[in-house]
Amino acid sequence: MTSLRDRKRERTRRALVEAATELFETRGYDETTVADIAAAAEIGTRTFFSYFASKEEVLFPEADARIAAAVEAVATRTPGETPAEVLVRTLTDLGPAADEMLGRTAALRLRLTATVPAVRGRGLQLQLDAQREIARHLRDAFPDQLDEVSAGALVGAFIGAVTGALQAILDRPGALDGDPAAMREDLKAATKVALRPWTQAE
């Protein structure tokens, strides 16, 4: 059970993400300020910074949750489960963070990553941080199968597969009007295909 304070913080955080997404789409990323986002979410500018460090950070609201889900998947691995299977299971265990990966903010994030250096830079940094963190846990969990290099390669392949599949899914005409459950299944199936050589090698 979450506390009332936690629920209120989550509502405010969600309001900031929604406000930023709306403003970036209608006004433009460079033309939108932190003050604009805070005002649209009906909070003060100083309060904004207790939720996000910068306006580009708002475009990656579930980054920490995705890393936590991967680490949890590794920690709860079952006997006989391979490293690649553990990573694919992460896509099932993401919970609300999975919906964010396939929603309006995600589609906007992909577009801005291609055109805004600050967003691209932040996305790359978060991706590298995630790869290192997940690879470390995976290597420690499977010391007989993975060393530092192979764990890094496997996690890199996983994140690359997810990123590529998301791009293709969200580029489909009318993607945001599609069935989220079906989109999640497409993502998981595509990632399984991409990681098949790893599974066969194990």
Same domain, 88 and 31: no
Judged against a pLDDT cut of 90, whether residue 99 lies above it is answered with no
Higher pLDDT, 3 or 152: 152
Lowest-confidence pick of 9-18, 31-40, 49-58, 180-189: 180-189
Same domain, 173 and 190: yes
Same domain, 46 and 138: no
Highest mean pLDDT among 1-10, 118-127, 173-182: 118-127
Number of structural domains (the chain) is 2
Same domain, 112 and 159: yes
| pLDDT at position 178 | 81
Same domain, 181 and 116: yes
The answer to whether the beta carbons of residues 8 and 34 sit under 8 Å apart is: no
Judged against a pLDDT cut of 80, whether residue 115 lies above it is answered with yes
- pLDDT tens readout for residues 134-172: 999 999 999 999 999 999 999 999 999 999 999 999 998
The answer to whether the beta carbons of residues 82 and 43 sit under 8 Å apart is: no
pTM for this model (two decimals): 0.86
Tell the burial category of 175 from Cβ atoms under 10 Å away from its Cβ (0-12, 13-18, 19+). middle
Same domain, 97 and 34: no
Same domain, 110 and 183: yes
- pLDDT tens readout for residues 66-97: 899 899 999 999 998 999 999 998 888 776 66
Confidence of residue 198 (pLDDT cuts 50, 70, 90): confident
- pLDDT tens readout for residues 121-135: 999 999 999 999 999
Residue 33's domain comprises 4-55
Judged against a pLDDT cut of 70, whether residue 179 lies above it is answered with yes
Residues whose CB falls within 8 Å of the CB of residue 180, separated by 6 or more in sequence, listed in order: 99, 102, 103
CATH code at position 190 = 1.10.357.10
